[in-house]
Structure 1
Amino acid sequence: MTWSSRTTVSTTIIILASLAYIYHRQRRAKQTRQLQRAADELHPRLKEHTNFQQYTTPYAIYPRIRTYYQPHAHHESHADISELPLLVFIHGLGGLLPQFAGLLDSLTSIAPCFGLELPGHGRSAFEPKGYEAYTMEANAALWKIAIEEICTRNNHKSVVLIGHSMGSSLAALLASTTSTAPTLSVPVVGMIAICPRAHQISPKELNAAHKLSSTPNVVINILRWFDRYGDEDSTSVKRVVGDSNESDLKRTQLAWNRQYRTPVLKRVTLGLLPRTAPDGKLTGGYPSEAVWKGIAIPLFLIAGDSDTVCKPEEINLIVQYITGKPINEAEKIPQPSDEHQSSTNGLIPTTIKAPNSIIQTITLPSPAAHALPYAHSTYRLVSALIESFLSTHVSSKLDFPYQLRLLTTSGKWDVKNLAKWKDILPVSAPIHTHTSENGLFRALKTMREQDDEHNPTLFLRNWRDKIYAVIDISHDTPVYNTKTLDKGGVEYHKFPTVSKIPPTPLEVQDFCTLVDRLLLERDARPDHDERAIAVHCHYGYNRTGFFICSYLIERMGYSVQDAIDEFGRAKPPGIKHAHFLDTLWLRFAGREGEMKRSSEVREADMTDGGGSAVLARDDAGNASEGDVM
């Protein structure tokens, strides 16, 4: 081969490799955007309350930071509600806001909530590129300015910091009186650290981080690919979720790991390293013992027994930093006889007397791992523990039953269109009775705390032996005390969706996954039973019917019309609004025989008004534009 031929071949290879690299980058960017959009579709709460802000700090200008802010639904109704502290959610390395979605479903009912995604994380722009913008001090400064701005804008007088993993370290820097980071001008009245890290970077980790800084990104990408080899069962996923058998959790974790970019990983990792100050002392990086010792507010430490990223021993170290004694030797405070115990599966935190406040600790049993805030098996428990801590040790006004009593007695919190609500059947007949006379589903109207007939206490008395769990698909804060159900042996699950529009395919998929998981948990109980899954929106017709029909079609093999008929039989007149019915037919019409049947049924509806009404009608059969729930 001549020299010119070799040159041509080399040039061709370089061009092809460059094109392949560009294609890979564009394809990955497209996949990342799709993942981010999918996450928002699955969590409409985040989508509805998301904004993008520019922040200027002493370290950098961040042009596009994704923020989430949701005020309390009744912040204008009563002074006690308007004065509640702002709950601030701080994610960790590689984290993003959807990891808090499960906690937000519950905690937005009791307090205003705020969070953001650090630069290069989630949907926040990877700008600027300078390494100095990604140190712990820079991240803490960004949080300080963001918190102070949102508090000033919305008149919040205090905050509670809720951090996960590295987010707990950032919370400590913001909350400690001995922190090297600038302190918040807004009082911090409580802190929750989920999977916290107590110690600073070890010499081994320091050496690995320095090697990382000199390793080309392409090499790191290859190493990360091998780390993800095996997809859902890869080391990359198991490191975070442990031995979880939740396939949807593992798929989600894999997607998050893939979308986290190597240049961001490198900058944030190097930003965790301490630096030598002019006086020779180490500064920066993870909080030191002195920083933890300066936390003088109620502190709740939550760990997972199977966590290998931030091991449960870390919370013992933090207690020792603050009190001078390990947990087993520290002075304990007797736990009040507990009204929250049943909603926390009988797990009772240890409460310890600290020099200036209290510390509460709990380690959730295996297989609880690093994904505590968003694993299906733990997030509801974590939420219940946080609610109990907040109402007991931060403010009694953060107790949901207290707020419910306060607002219902003042007439500020009630169901919409009470007269219409009262006329609707509280609980439907069994739906899908093929395997059990009790049925697979029951359709409800929402409960009402002060109602004489359909409140949680009476519901338990009448239905505890027939209903295993309640899925609340309404978007609003419930007008009943959901803890009554949990304590009474009926699980409560919030699955918020937007009214008036049919659920998206992703919402249906997530609903089906939730029902599958609940049925597996029910069937795995020692006292295996065949209790049904109850679903409600407001009145229990359109959204409730759409989700139940979708499950019957997707999982139980129903035709579209058979599913519609089954729901209508159990809760007459069934799905009322035409656009919900149209969407059901359209979404599942591609199945064999459904298109033809769809046409036949619609012709029958047009000619004789049979089947499910095309025009929305009220219970008396009158045309109506109401009942859009």
Structure 2
Amino acid sequence: MEEDPTLLRDHSEVRSFTTSRFTYPEVRVFYREHPKAAELPSDPAPLPLLVFLHGLGGSVAQFHPLLTSLTNNASCLAIDLPGCGLSGFAPKSWDAYSIPDLAELLELIIAGHRDATRGQGVVLIAHSMGSVLAARLANAHGPHTRISQHVLGVIGICPSSGNPKNVPALRRLLWIPTWAFNLYRRYDQWGGPNSASVTRFLGLDADRPSRELQYRFNRQSRTGVFRRMAWACLPVLDKEGNEVGVYKIAQMLEADISVPSAASDPSHGSTESAAPISPTSAPTRQLPGSIGAISDKDFERRQTQLGVIEEAYEESSTPRDDAQTAVPEVPEQPLHPKKVVETIILKAPATHGLLFTPKTVRTVSGLICNFLSENITRRFDLGWQLQYLSREGKWDVKNLAKWKKVKPVSESICGIFRAMKTLREVDEEHSPKVFVPKYGHLIKDIIDISHDNPVYDALGLEKHGIKYHKFATVSKIPPTDAEVTTFINIVDRVREDQQARAKAEGWNEYAIGVHCHYGFNRTGYFIVCYLIERLGMDVNQAIGTFAAARPNGIRHSHFLDRLALRYSELKA
């Protein structure tokens, strides 16, 4: 699993599963329990489990940007289907990759991770072809109903909706011998990130990082698996060309449904095909088409960045004593939520890869959190969780007294950075609500390098134009070379984005806030590396520059030793 980001690598395992017909010997399963699951209310049931289902040729890795956010809100489960991602291509039988057999496998895995004894519900979050599997799992009238009665909601991201007229041609294409199919794929991928295979999914205007990700996903897709799954997904047509025996998403009215789609999705071709839901037995709400179309009034009731309701930030006009503040009211968690269908069409640059592309993933994350909060239970709100757990003393910063003594924000570091300590949701001096009016004109992006879930809700920053970026690293240990490279790349992209925003919005000054817990050691290490590698400073000059802006600078001697070694002129 060396190719995985840290979050996926630390919470994944490869296991064998046996269904009624097949044994799948190497299935990669990602599962991360909510870090404070035991402290959250569990009456009448624990917080629902979020289950992520990828599409044709996809993998768990495509959900990584969403998982970095949503694992803060709930326990999350994601599965590499057989032959996809890091799962082994076994068995080889075509029947083993049929929709019914894959659905049975998923039921088995989900049942093994759902807290059945306490009645835990499930929310399915599916991309592309994964929506077909989600429909099967949620349909109480299908052949497999092990978890259907526990499915509280379904979120389909760019759900599959092919044209029946294309089915005969697609079947002929899949009859092509494997060697010929591979030859075509090699031709289709010529040009790497700029190949036709990438442009088909992301469009002509996709940025380089998104193209590189999609190219990686395309190369990981095995031809044999692709052919089997693609064949299984094609509908059966009658003599008139109508679909027979297909589980349509619109038929799943036992569960709440949300369908974010891209109007410019090249793989689907049109807005109409991107959102095929039109049921009449449940209310449908059309949300704003893009971030730009959302007004301040819209933000009061549905947020599209990190998905926590505005009420979580409302405070009385009198100073708050956390020790004397009552625990916030526990929201209801219905075992059978009211049925609702929402369709959301995102405008360009949204494409079929909107779940992992930097320009759209924040919006998708926010829409998902908003749907979960409004239609399943408000207990999904990160803001509510933070306030509940902080007031209970179960989720807060380490060594609060020490943290309070640390200066919140450093002086400017070369006009690029401001080193910070982490914000605290319920703090009277350094919470998002206080930070925005105090520093929002100076700091336009925040990179959170802390390892754990943040003890503040970033929506309080995002809704006021301060972008939040999570890059988890481990405390007490100097960052690895790979982590330094990733951090530098993140900063390069953020600075490029800031320059464009500054020109469009007329900023005179802007910086990137970086924080770990206190904002000295890891924060200083990364910033010093950037000053050396991008501004050409020597190691001592960079360390001194950071210390001047953030007295007393990097405090751990082993961090300073590692920096000296990393940039030593004597190093081979």
- TM-score grouping bracket, smaller chain normalisation: 0.7 to 0.9
In the other structure, the counterpart of 2:208 is 247
- Once the two structures are superposed, residues 469-501 of structure 1 have per-residue CA deviations (whole angstroms, 9 ceiling, x without a partner) of 111111211111211111223122222222232
Helix, strand or coil at the partner of 2:359: coil
Are residue 176 (structure 1) and residue 151 (structure 2) matched?
Answer: no
Could you tell me how far 1:75 is from its partner in structure 2? Answer: 1.0
Quote the Cα distance in structure 2 between the aligned partners of 1:171 and 1:499: 38
Q: Does 1:120 align with 2:120?
A: no
Cα shift at 1:573: 2.2
Match of 1:229 in 2: 190
Give the direction of change, closer, same or farther, for the CA distance of 1:417–1:345 in structure 2 (3 Å limit). Answer: closer
- Cα 1:585–1:139 change in 2 (3 A) is farther
Do the aligned partners of 1:305 and 1:367 also contact (CA within 8 Å) in 2?
no
| Matching residue's letter, 2:101 | A
Q: Does residue 1:450 correspond to 2:426, yes or no?
A: yes
Q: Distance in 1 between matches of 2:274 and 2:226?
A: 25
Q: Name 2:349's counterpart in structure 1.
A: 367
Q: Tell me which residue corresponds to 2:505.
A: 527
**Matching residue of 1:352:** none
1:304 aligns with 2:262: yes
1:356 and 1:79 mapped to 2: Cα distance?
21
Report the AA paired with residue 532 of structure 1: A
**1:166 alignment partner, one of 112, 125, 129:** 129
SS in 2 for 1:89: strand
CA contact (8 A) 1:66 1:123 kept: yes
Instruction: Report if aligned partners of 1:44, 1:498 keep a CA contact under 8 Å in 2.
Output: no
- For 1:376, the equivalent position in structure 2 comes to 358
Post-superposition shift, 1:427? 0.7
Does the aligned pair in 1 maintain the 2:284–2:341 contact within 8 Å? no
C-alpha displacement of 1:274: 3.9
- Residue identity matched to 1:458: V
- Paired residue secondary structure (1:523): helix
Deviations 1:281-317 (A, max 9, x none): 9766xx444x532333221110112102134323542
Instruction: Please say if residues 320 and 327 of structure 1, whose CA atoms lie closer than 8 Å, have aligned partners that are also in contact.
Output: no
Paired AA for residue 452 in structure 1:
E
Output the CA distance in 2 between the equivalents of 1:493 and 1:196. 27
SS class of match (2:526)? helix
Which of residues 54, 70, 83 in structure 2 aligns to 1:91?
54
Matched, 1:37 2:2: yes
**Residues 578 and 562 of structure 1: CA distance in aligned 2, closer, same or farther (over 3 Å):** same
State, as a whole percentage, how many aligned pairs show the same letter.
41
User: 1:118–1:480: structure 2 CA closer, same or farther, 3 Å change rule?
Assistant: same
Alignment partners' CA distance in 2, 1:337 and 1:245: 28
- For 1:468 and 1:398, how far apart are their aligned partners in 2? 27
Look up the SS of the partner of 2:161 in the other structure. Answer: coil
| 2:224 aligned with 1:269 | no
Equivalence for 2:171: 209
Match of 1:71 among 33, 39, 56: 33
**2:354 is aligned with what amino acid?**
L
**Letter of the structure 2 residue corresponding to residue 318 of structure 1:** I
Partner of 2:317: none
- 1:384 is aligned with what amino acid? G
- What's the counterpart of residue 398 of structure 1? 380
User: Mind listing any 5+ residue stretches in structure 1 that lack a counterpart?
Assistant: 1-35, 329-334, 347-354, 433-438, 599-629
Contact 2:305 2:459 in 1 (8 A): no
Indicate if the aligned counterparts of 1:148 and 1:186 stay in contact, CA closer than 8 A: no
Tell me if the contact between 2:39 and 2:394 (Cα under 8 Å) persists in the aligned partners.
Answer: yes
> CA, structure 1 residues 345+412, in 2 after alignment: closer, same or farther (shift >3 Å)?
closer
Q: In terms of mean alpha carbon deviation, does 387-396 or 203-212 score higher?
A: 203-212
Paired residues of 2:202 and 2:266 also in contact (CA < 8 A): no
Pick closer, same or farther for the CA change 1:144–1:138 going to 2, 3 Å: same
Match of 2:22 in 1: 60
Q: 1:554 aligns with which of 518, 533, 556?
A: 533
Given that 1:317 and 1:326 are in contact with CA atoms closer than 8 Å, whether structure 2 keeps it comes out as no
Residue in 1 aligned with 2:150? Answer: 187
Matching residue of 1:423: 405
> Secondary structure in 1 aligned to 2:67?
helix
Letter in 2 for 1:65: V
User: Which of 440, 457, 463 lines up with 2:439 in the alignment?
Assistant: 463
TM-score (norm 1): 0.78
1:49-77 CA-partner distances (Å, limit 9, x unpaired): 11112111123101111111111111111
Moved more, 570-579 or 56-65: 570-579
Q: Is the 8 A contact 2:306 2:362 kept in 1?
A: no
CA distance in 1, matches of 2:178, 2:216: 20
Residues 319 and 326, structure 1, Cα contact 8 Å, conserved in 2: no
> CA shift at 1:321, angstroms?
7.8
In structure 2, the residue matched to 1:295 is 253
Q: Give me the whole-angstrom Cα distance separating, in 1, the residues matched to 2:539 and 2:398.
A: 31
- The answer on whether the counterparts of 1:176 and 1:292 sit within 8 Å (CA) in structure 2 is no
Answering whether residue 235 of structure 2 is matched by residue 260 of structure 1, we say: no
Counterpart of 2:545 in structure 1 is 566
Superposed counterparts of 1:310-325, under 5 Å: 310=268, 311-320=270-279
Q: Could you tell me how far 1:275 is from its partner in structure 2?
A: 5.3
SS in 2 for 1:511: helix
Provide TM-score, normalisation by structure 2: 0.86
Structure 2 gap ranges (5+): 288-295, 308-336
Displacement of 1:117: 0.3
1:79: Cα distance to partner?
2.2
Judge which range, 312-321 or 264-273, deviates more. 312-321
Larger radius of gyration: 1
When residues 70 and 153 of structure 1 are mapped into structure 2, their CA distance, relative to the original with a 3 A threshold, is farther
2:64 counterpart letter in structure 1: A
1:314 partner amino acid? S
Distance 1:321 1:143, change over 3 A: farther
Q: CA deviation at 1:322?
A: 6.5
What is the alpha-carbon distance in structure 2 between the residues aligned to residue 159 and residue 379 of structure 1?
22
**Root-mean-square deviation (Å):** 2.9
Q: CA deviation at 1:211?
A: 3.7
2:33 counterpart letter in structure 1: P
Distance in structure 1 (CA, Å) of the matches to 2:564 and 2:118: 48
Amino acid at match of 1:230: G
CA contact (8 A) 2:349 2:360 kept: no
CA drift of 1:532 comes to 0.3
CA offsets per residue over residues 226-262 of structure 1, 9 Å max, x none?
Answer: 1111211111111122234421221121122112121
SS across alignment from 1:189:
strand
8 Å contact from structure 2 (residues 152, 256) kept in 1: yes
Instruction: Kindly indicate whether the alpha-carbon contact (under 8 Å) linking 1:292 and 1:321 is maintained by their aligned counterparts in 2.
Output: no
Secondary structure of 1:377's counterpart equals helix
Distance 1:577 1:325, change over 3 A: closer
Contact 1:179 1:294 in 2 (8 A): no
Relative to structure 1, the CA distance from residue 322 to residue 341 in structure 2 (aligned partners, 3 Å threshold; closer, same or farther) is closer
Instruction: Give the count of matched residue pairs.
Output: 528
Offset of residue 356 of structure 1: 7.1
Q: Does 1:595 align with 2:554?
A: no
1:319–1:515 CA distance, 2 compared to 1 (3 A) = farther
Structure 1 distance, partners of 2:381, 2:198, is 36
- Counterpart AA for 1:527: E
